[in-house]
Copies of this chain bind each other. A is one copy, B any other.
Amino acid sequence: MRMLINSPQTVVADALRGMAAAHPELDVDVERRVVVRRDAKAGGRVGVVSGGGSGHEPLHAGFVGYGMLSAACPGEVFTSPVPDQMVRAAAAVDCGQGVLFVVKNYTGDVLNFEMAAELAEEDGLRIERVLVDDDVAVTDSLFTAGRRGTGATLFVEKIAGAAAEEGAPLDRVAALARRVDECSRSFGVALSACTTPAKGSPTFDLPDGELELGIGIHGEPGRERRPMMSAREIAEVAVGAALEELAQIGPADGPVLALVNGMGATPLLELYGFHAEVARVLTERGVPVARALVGNYVTSLDMAGCSVTLCRADEELLRLWDAPVRTAALRWGL
A residues lining the B interface (CB < 8 Å): 1-7, 10-12, 14-22, 54-55, 57-58, 62, 77, 189, 191-192, 208-209, 228, 230-232, 234, 260, 264-277, 279, 289, 292-294, 296, 299, 301-302, 304-306, 326, 331-334
Which of B11, B58, B292 is in CB contact (< 8 Å) with A270? B11
Question: How many monomers of this protein are in the complex?
Answer: 2
Q: Is the CB of A265 within 8 A of B264?
A: yes
Kindly provide the distance from the CB of A21 to the nearest chain B CB, expressed in whole angstroms.
4
Report B-chain residues with C-beta under 8 Å of the C-beta of A276: 14-15, 17-18, 20-21
Question: Of B11, B268, B302, which one neighbours A58 at CB under 8 angstroms?
Answer: B268
Tell me which of A191, A231, A272, A331 has the highest count of chain B C-beta atoms within 10 A of its own C-beta. Answer: A272
Q: Decide yes or no: A272 and B55 within 8 Å by CB, A5-B231, A231-B14 being known contacts.
A: no
Query: In whole angstroms, what is the CA distance A269 to B20 when docked?
Result: 13
B4–A266 CB distance below 8 A: yes
CB–CB A272/B22 < 8 A: yes
Contact of A21 among B269, B275, B331, B334 (CB under 8 A): B275
Given contacts A208-B1, A275-B22, A269 and B11 within 8 Å (CB-CB): yes
Q: Are A57 and B269 in contact (CB under 8 A)?
A: yes
Q: Name A330's closest neighbour in chain B (CB-CB).
A: B331
Q: Please determine whether B273 and A208 come into contact, CB atoms closer than 8 angstroms.
A: no
Q: A2 CA to B209 CA in the complex, in Å?
A: 7
Question: Contact check: which of B6, B54, B209, B334 meets A333 at CB < 8 Å?
Answer: B334
Q: Is the CB of B18 within 8 A of A272?
A: yes
Look across to chain B and name the residue whose beta carbon is closest to the beta carbon of A262.
Answer: B4
Chain B contacts for A292, CB-based, 8 A: 21-22
Quick one: given A3-B270, A7-B230, A267-B264, are A302 and B299 in contact (CB under 8 Å)?
A: no
Contact yes or no, B302 A11, CB < 8 A: no
Q: Are A269 and B55 in contact (CB under 8 A)?
A: yes
> Is the beta-carbon distance between A273 and B57 smaller than 8 angstroms?
no
CB pair B274–A18 under 8 Å, yes or no, is: yes
Instruction: Chain B residues near A264: list those with CB within 8 A.
Output: 265, 267
Given contacts A55-B269, A191-B4, contact A279 B18 (CB under 8 A): yes
Closest B residue to A190 by beta carbon equals B2
Q: How far is the CA of A4 from the CA of B234 in the complex (A)?
A: 8
Q: 4 tightest CB-CB pairs across the interface, nearest first?
A: A14-B273, A18-B272, A17-B276, A18-B276
Taking CB atoms, residues of chain B closer than 8 Å to A18 are 260, 271-277, 279, 294
The listed residue (B10, B15, B289) touching A272 by CB distance below 8 A is: B15
